[in-house]
Structure 1
């Protein structure tokens, strides 16, 4: 571990929580907390307003606090090998967050920053579309919770995100002009849905009970 030029590296020190003295270091631009036993990030992490890089990989974090959305200077985020099953919708506010393209895939992005997590929201297929689409998806879900309508058209989405069928509050869903080729049978659980637009996809057939 160590401190240098705005970097605080306390990786592999065995800490189980983020120390208060570190949280008070408002000058830190890169915080490395990897290979520890951290289970959660405190809300006070929002005070670290200069952070451009945060590495919490190889810990035991099961969820991220909503205040992470206030760290708008973040460009690099490392979350791999925790126990995260979802990202908070507030991450849509991380306007500078970016991750590189997958060198092996022409149109997809490298999601190694999230690997080793049981991630289901957003689905890894959404994450592979890049930070811009991930932000947009999280933003649209937040809007959908308020309005009952979710629009995610013209986004090169390669599949119907199964987790959408858990959003029973939706009354309108627009996934037109993506690359979806199937709709899961569980879509019939979306009993409030009144408008469902799939134009411009390559779907062969819809679930029988739709």
Structure 2
């Protein structure tokens, strides 16, 4: 009886092995048939009638042309496309049939005239990277974050976005979120759900972005945070909890908290200050002698009075280096920051 059972098990194993081998051969044959089609930089105003089978294309590059639209019928037949690149064209919209691309992993629509993305883009559930930089997007689909569970990189910089949909906080696979150079007035509150986010860039929203949500300090995987050139006056105390944070860029903000003398001491001191403040144990850091005061003392600035009372010019108090507006403004920070003088970039890092 035992021998019969063993024979049956061995026979089943052999059958499973054969099926697996046949499946792999089939996949290999299909992969060999797939093609890469490059029609980039050909000054195309319209797509030529293709003589090939659209279902065999795995990568289609239509970038750097003059295309104003992509036919619905063409997109619907790209059933095996993994990479679709249409950047640098004149597209005002994307076809709704883009939702048929179930295998699509990379979509590049940067440098077009798009004012919106079709809601059907949510059906591209295999998508890992979406680049929609340099368009005219005023909003993103409200529920985009509920469906694109595989998305790792979202780039929507240089658009006209006023807000990011709250559903983005459900993108638990997201590693990079680039939303700089928009018109953002706020960020979603529940950012802590972005458990894998490593890079967050919301810089250069200029006069619009004034505050950051407390939840930004709960992004435990965050390595780089760029909030430069906004109207932020205070960093959330919770940022002191970001143990993996290695780069914090805040220049160009009218920053009051932490104070400038803390920023002068680097990222570690900033995180320590915020952490102590959050725990209620913050003590005012000792005042450091200002290098700006020395410049004034020795007459580095024309018209400086060495022995007279402290002098204020354009919101910048010379002797004590105290004016926050002067410190944070692009005009003065770019010119006088010692970090700018001694390093190629102005940021705080370990």
TM-score w.r.t. length of structure 1: 0.56
CA contact (8 A) 2:159 2:181 kept: yes
Query: Which of residues 243, 247, 257 is equivalent to 1:160?
Result: 257
CA–CA separation in structure 2 for the residues paired with 1:48 and 1:153:
28
Equivalent position of 2:84 in the other structure: 3
- SS of 1:89's partner is coil
CA deviation after TM superposition for structure 1 residue 43, in Å: 2.0
Deviation, 1:23, is 2.3
Once residues 55 and 154 of structure 1 are traced to their aligned partners in structure 2, the CA distance between those partners, rounded to angstroms, is: 27
SS at match of 1:131: coil
Structure 1 115/86 Cα, relative in aligned 2: closer, same or farther at 3 Å?
Answer: same
> 2:280 corresponds to which residue?
197
Please state which structure has a larger fraction of its residues in helix: 2
Alignment of 1:1-210 (within 5 A): 1=63, 3=84, 6-46=105-145, 47-99=147-199, 113-118=201-206, 119-122=209-212, 131=222, 152=238, 155=241, 160=257, 178=273, 197-202=280-285
- The alpha carbon displacement at 1:74 in A equals 0.3
Query: Which of 1 and 2 has greater Rg?
Result: 2
- Identify the structure with bigger relative contact order (alpha carbons < 8 Å, sequence gap 6+): 1
Shift in CA distance, 133/201, structure 1 to aligned 2, threshold 3 Å: farther
Unaligned runs of 5+ in 2: 1-62, 64-82, 86-103, 226-235, 243-247, 249-254, 260-270, 288-350
TM-score, scaled to structure 2: 0.35
Q: Tell me the CA shift for residue 24 of structure 1.
A: 1.7
Verify the 8 A CA contact 2:258 2:273 in the aligned structure 1. no
CA distance in 2, matches of 1:10, 1:30: 11
State the alpha-carbon separation in 1 of the partners of residues 119 and 143 from structure 2.
9
Would you say how many aligned residue pairs link Structure 1 and Structure 2? 148
Residues 21 and 42 of structure 1, relative CA distance in 2, 3 Å threshold: closer
CA RMSD of aligned residues (A): 4.0
Runs of 5+ unmatched residues, structure 1 = 100-110, 135-149, 163-175, 184-195, 205-210
